[in-house]
């Protein structure tokens, strides 16, 4: 069967490979790929900056944002042949640490977790793959190909879940949200903010292309200037990982405000920061700054619910390119008008 593979650590090593059928030991459920979403993490892996192959090999099957259909499932599982499904990306560490032992592998405390298509486990950019039922999420057939957005939606649902929990530390009545970055994560973060009834602002550098209209039609406000111009907020979701924007984001939090960092940035970019002034502001305003990564099963369910509640025509606009497997190389390019590019293995 065909799979998109890469040699982690080697820039430009991505290729379409003929690989063996998935080993039944990999999981009781056999899934036929319909599509995989491409994200910044995939581009980092193909640039040789991130990722690890499964033990004993030097190539990794890419793909962690998945949508597929069940081909084989043992009796007694809450799944049937033909069901639409998405795979859970992270697997708990083998120890397991206390967080993983509680099913909160997204909070893994020892770093020994594995991630499909990213770290030590083959991904979903293969014609077929196997998973155990505990790592399969059913996708509402009404979502159709929008189901491929469940993984990024789960990441955003986790971030919001954490914001809600942190917000309960004291009385708090947030009203204004600032999302920095109008990529898929930023736009889905904005969606969940609007669904919570909050006033949402989205900042991105693009002044043209699909993003301003997508934000406007969500009922949010689009900004393309600086963070300062976009204004202070009770909740800030930083979704770019750009060092200069992160520092600005910290200053933009209102009293009692929460800043959630979701972008994984490359190290090495140093910039002067007035740590004393920043610390003073954070302390005197009871601000919380926290990082959020990945998602556990509850977040996949929350992400799926958010997608089901969204206007399907709005979600369709997030998928700006659908690329057949044969043209895989163009799916990995990042074009100015791209929001989410999806690599397609099959038709609905």
User: 142, 120, 106, 150: which is closest to 292 by C-alpha?
Assistant: 106
32 vs 34: CA distance, rounded Å: 6
296 binds ligand BGC (CB under 6 A): no
Taking the complex as a whole, how short is the minimal distance between the CB of residue 255 and ligand BGC, in angstroms? 31
Among 66, 294, 302, 320, which residue sits at the site for ligand BGC (rule: CB under 6 A)? Answer: 294
Residue whose CB is less far from ligand BGC, 253 or 315:
315
- 23-82 residues near ligand BGC, rule: CB under 6 A: 39, 41, 64
Q: Which pair of structure tokens corresponds to residue 343? A: 């690599």
Among 7, 100, 155, 315, which residue sits at the site for ligand BGC (rule: CB under 6 A)? Answer: 155
302 vs 45: CA distance, rounded Å: 28
Q: Which pair of structure tokens corresponds to residue 101? A: 């032992």
Question: Is 323:294 a contact under the CB 8 Å cutoff?
Answer: no
64 vs 86: CA distance, rounded Å: 9
213 vs 230: CA distance, rounded Å: 17
Taking the complex as a whole, how short is the minimal distance between the CB of residue 150 and ligand BGC, in angstroms? 11
- 231-290 residues near ligand BGC, rule: CB under 6 A: none
Taking the complex as a whole, how short is the minimal distance between the CB of residue 89 and ligand BGC, in angstroms? 4
348 vs 68: CA distance, rounded Å: 10
Q: Give me the 166-195 binding string for ligand BGC, x by CB under 6 A, dash otherwise.
A: ------------------------------
Query: Total number of residues binding ligand BGC (CB under 6 A)?
Result: 11
145 vs 134: CA distance, rounded Å: 22
Residues in contact with 316: Cβ distance below 8 Å, sequence separation at least 6, in sequence order: 146
Taking the complex as a whole, how short is the minimal distance between the CB of residue 302 and ligand BGC, in angstroms? 15
Taking the complex as a whole, how short is the minimal distance between the CB of residue 151 and ligand BGC, in angstroms? 6
Binding site for ligand BGC (CB under 6 A): 39, 41, 64, 89-90, 115, 118, 151, 155, 293-294
């Amino acid at each position: 069967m065909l799979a998109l593979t890469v040699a982690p650590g080697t820039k430009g090593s991505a290729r379409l490979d003929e690989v063996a059928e998935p080993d039944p030991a990999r999981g009781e459920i056999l899934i036929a790929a319909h599509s995989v979403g491409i994200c910044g993490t995939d581009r980092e892996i193909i640039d040789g900056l991130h990722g690890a192959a499964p033990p004993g090999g030097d190539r990794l099957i890419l793909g962690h944002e998945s949508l597929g259909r069940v081909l084989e499932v043992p009796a007694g599982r809450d799944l049937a042949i033909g069901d639409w499904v998405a795979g859970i990306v992270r697997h708990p560490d083998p120890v397991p640490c206390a967080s993983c032992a509680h099913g909160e592998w997204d909070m893994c405390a020892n770093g020994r977790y594995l991630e499909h298509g990213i770290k030590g486990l083959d991904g979903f950019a293969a014609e077929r793959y196997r998973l155990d039922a505990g790592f399969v999420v059913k996708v509402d057939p009404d979502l159709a190909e929008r189901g491929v957005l469940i993984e990024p939606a789960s990441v955003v649902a986790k971030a919001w879940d954490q914001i809600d929990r942190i917000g309960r530390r004291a009385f708090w009545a947030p009203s204004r949200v600032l999302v920095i970055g109008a990529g898929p994560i930023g736009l889905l973060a904005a969606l969940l903010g609007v669904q919570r009834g909050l006033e949402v602002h989205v900042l991105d550098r693009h002044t043209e292309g699909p993003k301003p209209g997508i934000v406007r039609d969500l009922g949010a406000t689009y900004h393309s200037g600086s963070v300062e111009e976009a204004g202070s907020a009770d909740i800030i979701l930083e979704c770019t990982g750009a060092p200069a924007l992160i520092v600005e984001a910290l200053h933009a939090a209102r009293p009692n405000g929460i800043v959630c960092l979701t972008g994984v940035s490359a190290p090495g970019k140093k910039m002067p920061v007035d740590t004393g002034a920043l610390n003073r502001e954070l302390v005197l305003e009871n601000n919380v700054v926290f990082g959020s990564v990945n998602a556990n099963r509850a977040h996949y369910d929350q992400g799926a619910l958010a997608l089901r509640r969204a206007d399907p025509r709005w979600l369709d606009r997030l998928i700006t390119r659908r690329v057949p497997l044969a043209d895989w190389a163009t799916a990995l390019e990042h074009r100015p008008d791209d929001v989410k590019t999806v690599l397609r293995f099959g038709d609905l």
